[in-house]
């Protein structure tokens, strides 16, 4: 890839035909709408597919995409550590769709909720549970305090432990056949 390590949505749209797009969001997020031609490799599976990504990068430029650009920037750093050049999409799919660029959604799929919505539901449920149970058992209030502390830590570090845990749920995991098809497309 050239010196550019980040592309805006408009720059990526102009070069989409020559880029291999890797979407590092969960399969549920990917199913909710992705860049045309994007391959889904969740961030937590990135290290297992490095040889395929190296092969794809040898053939052409890689563009790594996520919802906001944070996970794709993290993926680009991990790839750079392995001498695999890649660019990130500035602002992620959020910026892409806000600018009116085309997104694709697999036919006949029902997309799970976006990860941030899943996190809000889980965090809210845990806080409410801690508060209600705290009416009877004072120690249960620590559950609410723990979730609140986790959310503050998440905001300060721009990471989310709860999202990492939720990403491991079955509806957020890629089917083995999907990942195998992706690897075949990248190496073939």
The residue from 66, 73, 123, 179 that is catalytic is 66
Q: What is the DSSP string of 92-113?
A: HHHHHHHTT---B--TT--PPP
Residue 160 annotated as catalytic: no
Q: Would you say 35 and 16 are in contact if contact means Cβ atoms under 8 Å apart?
A: yes
The closest of 65, 79, 48 to 6, measured between CA atoms, is 65
The closest of 88, 112, 95, 90 to 24, measured between CA atoms, is 88
Can you say how many angstroms the Cα of residue 91 is from the centroid of all Cα atoms in its chain? 12
Show which residues are catalytic.
66
């Amino acid at each position: 890839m050239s010196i550019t390590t980040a592309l805006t949505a408009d720059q990526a749209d102009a070069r989409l035909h020559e880029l291999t797009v890797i979407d590092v969001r969960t399969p549920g997020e990917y199913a909710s709408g992705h860049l045309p031609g994007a391959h889904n490799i969740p961030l937590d599976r990135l290290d297992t597919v490095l040889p395929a990504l190296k092969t794809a990068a040898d053939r052409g430029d890689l563009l790594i995409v996520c919802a906001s650009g944070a996970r794709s920037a993290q993926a680009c750093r991990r790839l750079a550590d392995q001498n695999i050049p890649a660019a990130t999409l500035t602002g992620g799919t959020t910026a892409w769709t806000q600018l009116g660029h085309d997104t694709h959604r697999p036919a006949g799929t029902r997309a799970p909720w976006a990860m941030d919505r899943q996190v809000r539901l889980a965090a809210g449920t845990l806080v409410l549970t801690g508060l209600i149970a705290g009416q009877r058992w004072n120690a249960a209030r620590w559950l609410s305090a723990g979730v609140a502390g986790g959310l503050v830590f998440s905001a300060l570090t721009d990471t989310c432990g709860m999202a990492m845990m939720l990403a491991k749920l079955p509806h957020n995991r890629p089917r083995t056949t999907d990942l195998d098809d992706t690897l075949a497309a990248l190496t073939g």
